[in-house]
Homo-oligomer: A and B are copies of this chain.
């Protein structure tokens, strides 16, 4: 199986980490190329070589696709270019594993969906937090009916800002904090609730962004789902640099029979059966890339589907629109 990597501005470690651990994978990293003007892929090149591959280096990812004709394109350039690169890959019948959001405008998203439908290939966005032991465990408990019917979901993404590159500073290149950081929260809400999104009201602010141009430091989204289920998503880049972890991901799912929470990489459950709050056992960590590979090889379906990847992006872009225009947007 031949694989090309376009860009190194996102989570390409979703690929390199399992490749490092599973040396028996029938996989060759055959080529790498930048996906955006000015993107430096030197770090990626060194990492790939260190893994024992001898990738061809291209300036133009289209030439790379044409000459190598890979089975898989891993796409993680600047976010504003993701959709264009995915479209080029799908048009050439290449399976796509792409950074999220899969597009940064609704127009790009529509074109990409059409290219996907024509291609009949596997298309998966890097919504990899689902595979964390705590999210898998919480999801299993909810699916088992431990908390009854879901009525309310609260999600949180809190990140350290650090110093970010130029590609985070303009809306056109970056896409916005709701799509970039918030897409995980939107994904958890869809994945856990299995409901459709009805509307969103959102706000965001780039105040106090320490010289990061357009980058929004805070955002808040209020989703109405089918069946009068509501969901909140709070996002910020204000996690102090000396906090113990980069992120502070949280999820709270309120059901008719109990409440399950993911907090500090633990899963807490109150289910009305045993008294008190229980910490439930975690699952083993999964790999979104290996799961994607399984689908490409025709051995099963990836937990994250193309539909998930498109819909999460669409919801995020409409939430961003809501925040830009300070009005409710229907989905």
Category for how many chain A residues contact B = 35 or more
From B199, B218, B229, B256, give the contact of A238 (CB < 8 A).
B256
A154 to B239, CA, bound (A): 14
B222→A238 contact, CB < 8 A: no
A193 within 8 A of partner (CB): no
From B158, B243, B276, B277, give the contact of A277 (CB < 8 A).
B243
Residues A187-203 near B (CB distance < 8 A) = 199, 201, 203
A310 within 8 A of partner (CB): no
A230→B244 contact, CB < 8 A: no
A85 within 8 A of partner (CB): no
Taking the closest CB of chain B, its distance from the CB of A249, in whole angstroms, is 14
Taking the closest CB of chain B, its distance from the CB of A75, in whole angstroms, is 32
* A273 contact set on B, CB distance < 8 A: 242
B220→A238 contact, CB < 8 A: no
B243→A276 contact, CB < 8 A: yes
A232 within 8 A of partner (CB): yes
A241 within 8 A of partner (CB): yes
A236→B254 contact, CB < 8 A: yes
Taking the closest CB of chain B, its distance from the CB of A278, in whole angstroms, is 11
> What is the 8 Å Cβ interface bit string for chain A, positions 7-28, against chain B (1 contact, 0 not)?
0000000000000000000000
A234 within 8 A of partner (CB): yes
Closest chain B residue to A327, Cβ basis:
B328
Residues A133-181 near B (CB distance < 8 A) = 149, 151-152, 154, 156, 158
> What is the 8 Å Cβ interface bit string for chain A, positions 214-239, against chain B (1 contact, 0 not)?
00011110101001111110101011
A286 within 8 A of partner (CB): no
A208 within 8 A of partner (CB): yes
Query: By CB atoms of chain B within 10 A, which of A230, A258, A326 has the most?
Result: A230
Residues A236-271 near B (CB distance < 8 A) = 236, 238-244, 252, 254-259, 270-271
From B156, B232, B271, B326, give the contact of A220 (CB < 8 A).
B232
Between-chain CB contacts (< 8 Å), 5 pairs: A154-B232, A220-B222, A232-B234, A238-B259, A242-B273
Q: Other than the known A205-B230, A243-B277, A328-B328, what 16 A-B pairs have Cβ atoms closer than 8 Å?
A: A151-B205, A152-B220, A154-B234, A158-B254, A199-B326, A203-B228, A205-B229, A207-B227, A220-B222, A220-B230, A238-B256, A238-B259, A239-B270, A240-B270, A242-B275, A244-B275
